[in-house]
Amino acid sequence: MIQFKQAGICVFQSALYQTTSTVIDTPDLVLVVDPNWLPHEVQEIVCYVDSIKGTRPVYLLFTHSDYDHIIGWKAFPDAITIASEAFVQNPAKDKEVEQIISFDDKHYIKRNYPIEYPDIQIVIRQDEDFLSFEHTRIRFWLAPGHNADGLFALLEPYGVWIAGDYLSDVEFPFIYHSLEDYQMTLEKASNIAGKARPKVLVPGHGQICQNIPEMGKRIIFSQQYLQAILRHAKGEEVFDETALLVQYDFPKGLRSIHQDNLNLIIKSISKS
Ligand SMILES: [Zn+2]
């Protein structure tokens, strides 16, 4: 379904985990981000892109390599792909593909395109790398922390900030990779919100956000969550898990992720 649409931007939302897929069209190009999850949902995005693209090239951006975000790659076989260098160097490509195959197998899902780990044509290597077109510029920042290969993208002059699996309103930070990296990525988020003043923030899961104070709140919430869970892991303070989970519509699934976050942090403290 379509969660949000206005001139030049259409945000699709999957029935699963409220995962977003974004399509942005500018005079130069059509940019598709993380097309996902179910076959008919991916097909809806393919049809939409076909209906608007005309003669413009289609670019396909992957915000990170978690399997739900790469599941629709081959539905856009002619698109020019973009992702971070760490995405290209992901040592567990097979694992991501295996997760897609297991998911489809478990749910008896057939797709009319092959499942493969994306080949990337445009590799983003550092913060402030950008792609420039006559009317469009796409700026990038490396955004590790949630996983190792995240990427923020800001479409200028449209002010659309694609955040990947950060700054969601339906889940707290999921730390699959590194607390420190996550904190640094939130610093970058804070700079982007403060300096570039985006008009629309699109998280990987949940609702878009159209105002800076709300973006700021999401950033601060994430920072406070990370600080609180770190203090808890160090034994300095007790984390109020009930108060955290009561804020969410889907607390059952989130409880174990919070526990995983805590385990990851305890492990990293014991190593240092
Ligand atoms: Zn995700």
* Ligand 1 center–CA 10 separation, angstroms: 18
* Ligand 1 center–CA 68 separation, angstroms: 6
* Ligand 1 center–CA 34 separation, angstroms: 9
* Ligand 1 center–CA 270 separation, angstroms: 28
* Ligand 1 center–CA 22 separation, angstroms: 13
In the chain, the domains with their CATH numbers are 2-211 (3.60.15.10)
d(CA 162, CA 179): 21
* Ligand 1 center–CA 37 separation, angstroms: 10
* Ligand 1 center–CA 8 separation, angstroms: 24
* Ligand 1 center–CA 1 separation, angstroms: 17
* Ligand 1 center–CA 47 separation, angstroms: 23
The pTM (predicted TM-score) of the whole model is: 0.96
* Ligand 1 center–CA 134 separation, angstroms: 32
d(CA 144, CA 151): 7
| pLDDT tens digit at each of 272 positions of the chain | 999 999 999 999 999 999 999 999 999 999 999 999 999 999 999 999 999 999 999 999 999 999 999 999 999 999 999 999 999 999 999 999 999 999 999 999 999 999 999 999 999 999 999 999 999 999 999 999 999 999 999 999 999 999 999 999 999 999 999 999 999 999 999 999 999 999 999 999 999 999 999 999 999 999 999 999 999 999 999 999 999 999 999 999 899 999 999 999 999 888 77
